[in-house]
Amino acid sequence: MTRVVAQTITNSEVTYECPHCWSTRKGEYHATNKFKNGKIAKDRKPTIHRHGNGRELASSFDNGKVFNQISHCKFVSDEVSIRITEDTKRINK
């Protein structure tokens, strides 16, 4: 199981940075942020995945709440544990 911290939570979804995949502005996905020669690819950023939150109000989530979901990552077919913390941005929309 992959454990991550939620970046944002809204009234309908929760988002997090995937530790397994990187994406470019062109929409390409990669399993690493490096080229084959080992150099860092500066245009690759961690991919943001989104999951539904059960349609609960974002303000109702306490710190420590955990969602267990199946990952959307194309490189890892694993369950992901998404934790809500004090750093998770709550957006009521």
Does the structure show a pLDDT above 90 at 70?
A: no
What is the pTM assigned to this prediction? 0.79
For residue 48, give Cα distances in angstroms to 21, 29, 36, 77.
9, 11, 23, 16
Q: Taking the domains of the chain in order of start, what are their residue ranges?
A: 2-90
pLDDT digits (tens, 9 = 90+) for 16-55: 999 889 998 888 888 888 888 989 888 899 899 988 877 6
